[in-house]
Amino acid sequence: MSEFMDIITASNLTYQQKLIHLAQAAENCEHPIQTTPEFDRFFEADALCDMHEGNAPYRARYICADFERFARQGSDFLRLDAPDSLDDLLVNLEILYENIPSVTGRPVYCGQLDRIIDPFITNMDDDEVRPRLRRFLNFIDRTVASGYCHANIGPEPTRAGRLLLEVDAEVQNAVPNFTLKYDPAITDDKFMRLALTTSTACANPAYANDRLLRDIYAKPEESYRDGYTIVSCYNVLPLRGGAYCLDRVKLQNLASMATSTEHFLNELIPEACGALLEYMNARIRFLVEESNFFQSSFLVREGLIERERFCGMFGVIGMHECVERLLGPGHVYGSDDEANELADVIMQKVSEQVNAFDAVYSEIGNGRFMLHAQAGFGDQLESTPGVRIRVGEEPELFFDHLRHSARMHRFFTAGVSDIFPVEPTASQNPDALLDVVKGAFALDDKYLSFYASDSDLVRITGFLVKRSEMEKYACGEAVLADTSHDGEGNWRANALADRKVRMGEMILA
């Protein structure tokens, strides 16, 4: 009972945050999923991690509802007619957000907002739309209050997209976390300049390579619009579906168990990955067959999600530390050829095993789990997110960094990203940032983001928080966004304030 009392008596948690923590503690009192001795061995060594998803999953981890369909049809369950005005639309969305679960207890996806909103503003001028969008974005920030909540815009340059960017720069909110799907053949430079200027003002939006991502989940009979969404930090998931679970291999701790590189590659990786894959199947079977989540959800009945469009996410973290531990001093991941080649070999081994495994209830993934470069959370020491280069060891030349990123990004279907703070003067030269995005995506980099180095809004592993909120939480104050808790620990433990600041070399590149 001490865990429950610690939550109940915490002075730095809000009432809503206590509810979420208490629910998870209660869930963890049950153990319906049987683990194998192999899984237990690696789990106890902290080489495998279940991402605190709970011992008895009763909802999918991430849900990507079809909000455009909701805007067309309304909801019988929620007793909402299809909206015929912008005011009705925004209120309906706010009601629906309150009824979408996730591993955080709040929605992690609030829709492709530009496409949802654009049809409802044709007979309104900008001055009528802006205050409504301002109130709507403030609602999301104050009620969802989690940086893991994500919204999408693009690749088309819509009027609603422009207004959302303008208002987001004004309100300076951490929630929702925006991603702009970018394709130079569709997204014009004027729209991108606005987006990049907004990024330097409020760290939003981030940028996804639409050309590479649009076909991951799309079916031949569907438009590319029906394929993917970006949710949570930067997770690439199927629309009208989502992710059952996200579990991960902590490569750095697995490397600590190795007696040699050969032992790591030929024994530990196959054993650990095999144990995690079987564990994921067991979790998904319980969720689908026993929890009754899909059988009872109005989201399924009304066509807003489909069980067949959910997948499992297989994550990796800590590649930088893994390679460092296997090769020893003098081999710096990101700039050393031997270190980079070993990382490539490791990911080839992992991806081959994951892509050969028969994943249950994974129709949208063609019977396979989807690889994800997992970012981590909290105060995890020596856990550089996914396959990123550790803070403080970034290559001097920016485009060398981007080339390395693109090389590693090719393995990941369900999300991978990099974060680049830039000089505050970047806001005066959006064309330089646009050249970076175009160059990176031409190299097949999949996802990147920027924020001004002096901004209150900063990206942690992918989600946004305010430095001012992290400082309050560090001093023992309760703060509204619970991602400020994870953000503060990670910001401090992994020296994120020391990320290499980019800008001057962009202009010279």
Rounded to 5 degrees, what are φ and ψ at 292? 65, 20
User: Which tens digit of pLDDT belongs to each residue from 306-344?
Assistant: 999 999 999 999 999 999 999 998 899 999 999 999 999
Query: Do 66 and 22 fall within a single domain?
Result: no
Q: Give the confidence band of 509 by pLDDT, cuts at 50, 70, 90.
A: very low
Query: Do 21 and 93 fall within a single domain?
Result: no
| Average pLDDT for the chain | 92
Cβ-proximal residues to 444 (8 Å cutoff; 6+ apart), any chain: 209, 212, 406, 409, 410
| CA-closest candidate to residue 234, choices 150, 156, 141, 318 | 150
Q: Look up residue 66 and give its two tokens.
A: 């079809």
Give residue 114's pLDDT: 97
- Across the range 427-436, mean pLDDT stands at 91
Query: Do 110 and 187 fall within a single domain?
Result: yes
Cβ-proximal residues to 434 (8 Å cutoff; 6+ apart), any chain: 189, 192, 193, 196
User: Which tens digit of pLDDT belongs to each residue from 167-193?
Assistant: 999 999 999 999 999 999 999 999 999
Query: Do 80 and 140 fall within a single domain?
Result: yes
Q: Look up residue 473 and give its two tokens.
A: 């939480």
Is the per-residue pLDDT at 504 higher than 60? no
Give residue 329's pLDDT: 87
Is the per-residue pLDDT at 224 higher than 70? no
Q: Look up residue 110 and give its two tokens.
A: 């609030």
Q: Give the confidence band of 508 by pLDDT, cuts at 50, 70, 90.
A: very low
User: By residue range, what is the domain housing residue 192?
Assistant: 62-238
Q: Look up residue 499 and give its two tokens.
A: 């990320």
Query: Do 2 and 148 fall within a single domain?
Result: no
Q: Look up residue 187 and give its two tokens.
A: 């997204």
* Number of separate domains in the chain: 2
User: Which tens digit of pLDDT belongs to each residue from 480-496?
Assistant: 887 787 778 777 877 77
Asked if residue 52 is part of any domain, the answer here is: no
Asked if residue 169 is part of any domain, the answer here is: yes
User: Which tens digit of pLDDT belongs to each residue from 89-111?
Assistant: 999 999 999 999 988 888 999 99
Query: Do 205 and 108 fall within a single domain?
Result: yes
Asked if residue 331 is part of any domain, the answer here is: no
Give residue 507's pLDDT: 43
DSSP state of 75: B
Give residue 278's pLDDT: 98
Asked if residue 324 is part of any domain, the answer here is: no
User: Which tens digit of pLDDT belongs to each residue from 270-298?
Assistant: 999 999 999 999 999 999 999 999 999 99
The last residue of a domain, from among 204, 238, 272? 238
By three-state DSSP, how is residue 115 classified? helix
Query: Do 88 and 26 fall within a single domain?
Result: no
Is the per-residue pLDDT at 241 higher than 50? yes
Give residue 221's pLDDT: 60
Asked if residue 402 is part of any domain, the answer here is: no
Give residue 440's pLDDT: 95
Asked if residue 138 is part of any domain, the answer here is: yes
Q: Look up residue 6 and give its two tokens.
A: 């610690």
Distances (CA, A) of 297 to 58, 141, 367, 479: 11, 25, 24, 31
By three-state DSSP, how is residue 358 classified? coil
The last residue of a domain, from among 198, 218, 238? 238
Query: Do 183 and 83 fall within a single domain?
Result: yes
Is the per-residue pLDDT at 220 higher than 70? no
User: Which tens digit of pLDDT belongs to each residue from 53-89?
Assistant: 888 899 999 999 999 999 999 999 999 999 999 999 9
Single pTM value for the model: 0.93
User: Which tens digit of pLDDT belongs to each residue from 103-137?
Assistant: 888 899 999 999 999 999 999 999 999 999 999 99
Give residue 1's pLDDT: 65
Query: Do 13 and 156 fall within a single domain?
Result: no
- Across the range 233-257, mean pLDDT stands at 96
Asked if residue 318 is part of any domain, the answer here is: no
Query: Do 146 and 6 fall within a single domain?
Result: no
User: Which tens digit of pLDDT belongs to each residue from 6-36?
Assistant: 989 998 888 888 888 888 888 888 788 999 9
Query: Do 87 and 2 fall within a single domain?
Result: no
Is the per-residue pLDDT at 375 higher than 90? no
Asked if residue 478 is part of any domain, the answer here is: no
DSSP state of 46: T
Query: Do 83 and 21 fall within a single domain?
Result: no
The last residue of a domain, from among 195, 222, 238? 238
Cβ-proximal residues to 412 (8 Å cutoff; 6+ apart), any chain: 371, 372, 373, 386, 387, 446
